[in-house]
Amino acid sequence: MHQSVLDAFVKFSTPLEGSVPSLYADIKGLLTVGIGCLCDPVSLALPLPWVLPDGSPASQADIAHQWQVVKTQANPRLHWRFAAGLSTMRLTEAGILQVADDRLKANEAIMRKHFPHWDDMPADAQLCCCSMAWAVGAGFPAIFSNFTRLLNNGDYGGAIEACGIKTEGNPGIVPRNAANRLCLANARKSAALNYPNEQLFWPGVVPESTDKEWSLKAEAEAALAAHPPHFGWDTAGREVADQDKA
């Protein structure tokens, strides 16, 4: 993965997912933590660097017990504010970043199996793929077969029309889809102009972009404004302090 993508991923994802140190139930009732990192089933939660209120590491028994309490009692409609009161283990800020980095690299290992020219993709195309994997799982290329075929053929423009994730019942996907389209438009333009593959243009656009391509940037910004995450975030993609946060 290009270093530019690694460096940008948290800033890209936090406005879409929020950043939460405690377990909560997502819109589908699946337990999640950090920057939208799935912790369901419990086997996904056990390896994470949870700490107790005194700063000591949570034991495997602690994690399993608290996970079960949250799984049984959390309500997706009340989201993290309610769920945070059901457990005492937390991820530190460093822990949240570590989990996100580990998940991102694990996803990349799977995606490489579907994208043989992964290392030669423009950075914006890699970022789009990482975004899709974050939302629907790293095995998404097998499901989004048209998208995968187009990307493997270097047809980033065609992939814009094939990257849409279903939004029914999950309006939070709307800004992600818009951000993904912007990334693919950047990839198309940067590839056509022979920019270095490692150069990332998101959240901006390639300088030589047309009005239509600039409109995708405006679309992405408007979609995020209309469908913000359930958690505060600042312009650097970092969570805003919240006095209600447990």
Confidence (pLDDT) at 79? 66
Confidence (pLDDT) at 7? 96
Do residues 80 and 31 touch, judged by C-beta distance below 8 A?
A: no
Confidence (pLDDT) at 82? 86
Q: Any bridge partners for residue 31, and if so which?
A: 25
pLDDT means over runs of 10, the chain (246 residues): 96 92 90 94 97 97 98 84 92 95 96 97 98 95 97 96 92 94 97 98 94 92 84 45 39
Which amino acid is present at 223? A
Predicted TM-score of the model (pTM): 0.89
Domains of the chain (ranges; CATH) run: 3-226 (1.10.530.40)
3-state SS of 164-208 is: CCCCCCCCCHHHHHHHHHHHHHHHHHHHHCCCCCCCCCCCCCCCC
Confidence (pLDDT) at 242? 42
